[in-house]
Amino acid sequence: MRRPVQSAIAALIAIVLTISAHPGAQTATRNATTIPFELATRHVMVKVTIGQSRPLSFILDTGADVAIVRMDVARELGLTLEGTVGIGGAGAGTQTGQFVRKASWSLVGLRGFSQPLVLAIPLMELSSAMGRPIDGIIGGQFIRQFVVELDYQTRQLTLHDRKSFKYEGTGETVPIELYQGHPIVSAAVAPVDRAPVTRKFMLDIGSGGALILHSPFAREQNLPDPAMITVPVIGSAGAGGRTTGRIGRVASLQIGSFTLDHPITMFSEDKAGAFANPLFAGNIGAQIANRFRLFFDYERLQLILEPSVKFKDPFDRAFSGLALRAAAPEYRVIRVHELMENSPATEAGIEVGDVITAVNGRPASELTLSAIIEMLELPVTCQLTIERGPDVIKTTLTPRRII
């Protein structure tokens, strides 16, 4: 996912578009188009078409560069696939993909714009982990055509003309570098009871976490400290397979003049893959990005940050000890994929393979996986109904703040 490929177009919208009143409609000004997006497990989801296809769900990911379509979707649409390519990412392995020839994608709500699809890769684990079909990914090649304004609070994506854009807000401008299409920022991370260390970080909104410290940096800084309370990473997998590490906290992360206190942090133990990259100290993910309204201005190599009403909220996630997956094709069968030892989940008697059929009396089939995960990140007692083979079990689970 991190291979630079030459862009086929440099198209921009500079006309007044009609504003439609129906849900999901675009809004537009002369030099900007605003499109709503969905959030799924903190990932930004937009609607895309390929040729005359049905609307497809793609992730907008600053940690990717070229446009990628899921392999089975490419075959369903009859796309021309050629060759093979190994695609790496988080995790030590690779997925085998193919190049897509003579096919383009368009963003629903953005008239007159298309870009080439470049790769087809399996992505099957991604859909199961996010509890909905993930048909593809778009990233840097798309973002660099515009100044992309991302507002997590209103769930709106505004695409500004990159040539005429002039920022007039009160946010702070932070310089960035581009590495294979990915934005790199300078930030200072302060381990607990230590002085801050300033290094380069990838701003990766395709990562649903807050902060990930790459294994070379973690080893260099002797992190996590043995006295620190940490828990093992469970249920985490990237394009390269399973990722390993511990989850704890650092004292702070500073980007520009903004300081975020005690962010939840993954200390990677990966031996290979994106989280073992020695070029950067780590990845700054969506749980930090979503505290801002962001303007990605790749033309001027800058990022503009406006703190949102959520900026000062504490990182107070509770832990259930459950890693869940949703089964295709409807993604309404919620299964326990992995358990954290000595956690609320094990104390509740939950086992790997159990199917959660109801939460607080509400059928799981009426809930999304994303909604269930959010519920289980609150320190609130939940009543779960579980199927284990032929047996139906009712249990009480109380997530708690462990780190």
Confidence at residue 14, expressed as pLDDT on a 0 to 100 scale: 25
pLDDT tens, residue order, the chain (403 aa): 333 333 322 222 222 222 222 233 333 345 899 999 999 999 999 999 999 999 999 999 999 999 999 999 999 999 999 998 877 666 556 778 999 999 999 999 999 999 999 999 998 788 999 999 999 999 999 999 999 999 999 999 999 999 999 999 999 999 999 999 999 999 999 999 999 999 999 999 999 999 999 999 999 999 999 999 999 999 876 555 678 999 999 999 999 999 999 999 999 999 988 899 999 999 999 999 999 999 999 999 999 999 999 999 999 999 999 999 999 888 999 999 999 999 999 999 999 999 999 999 999 999 999 999 999 999 999 999 999 999 999 999 999 999 9
Rg (CA), the chain: 21
Range of 65's domain?
A: 27-161
Q: State how far the alpha carbon of 23 is from the alpha carbons of 48, 151, 238, 239, in Å.
A: 16, 18, 33, 33
pLDDT at 125: 85
What pLDDT is recorded for position 30? 57
Question: Does residue 337 fall inside a structural domain?
Answer: yes
- Would residue 315 count as lying in a domain? no
In this structure, the answer to whether residues 114 and 204 fall within a common structural domain is no
Q: Are 91 and 237 in contact (CB under 8 A)?
A: yes
* Pairing relationship of beta strands 264-268 and 211-213 according to DSSP bridges: parallel
Count Cα neighbours of 33 within 13 Å in the Cβ-side half-sphere. Answer: 22
How much is the pLDDT for 166? 95
Same domain, 154 and 228: no
What is the domain-level CATH number for residue 227?
2.40.70.10
Looking up tokens 């899921």 gives: 70
- 19, part of any domain: no
- 3-state secondary structure at position 334: strand
Torsion angles phi and psi, residue 109, rounded to 5: 100, -5
281 shares a domain with 176: yes
Q: Is residue 346 included in any domain, yes or no?
A: yes
Helix residue ranges, H only, 267-384: 286-289, 344-347, 369-375
Do 152 and 96 lie in a common domain?
yes
Which pTM was predicted? Answer: 0.88
| CB contact set of 143 (below 8 Å; sequence gap of 6+) | 60, 62, 296, 298
- Quick one: residue 179, left, alpha or beta (phi over 0 = left, psi -120 to 50 = alpha)? beta
Domain for residue 81, yes or no? Answer: yes
Residues 201 and 274 occupy one common structural domain: yes
Residue 13 resides in a domain: no
Nearest by Cα to 143 from 31, 304, 298: 298
Q: How far apart are CA 299 and CA 204, in angstroms?
A: 18
Q: Is residue 9 part of a domain?
A: no
Q: Are residues 211 and 279 in the same domain?
A: yes
User: CA-to-CA distance for 297 and 105, rounded, in angstroms?
Assistant: 22
Distance CA 197, CA 341 (A): 33
359: left (phi over 0), alpha (psi -120 to 50) or beta: beta
CATH number at residue 384: 2.30.42.10
Q: Do 77 and 32 share a domain, yes or no?
A: yes
Question: Does residue 191 share a domain with residue 281?
Answer: yes
Q: Judge if 176 and 268 occupy the same domain.
A: yes
- 40 within a domain of the structure (yes/no): yes
Please report the pLDDT score of residue 37 as a whole number: 97
* Total tally of structural domains belonging to the chain: 3
Do 59 and 141 share a domain, yes or no? yes
pLDDT confidence of residue 243: 84
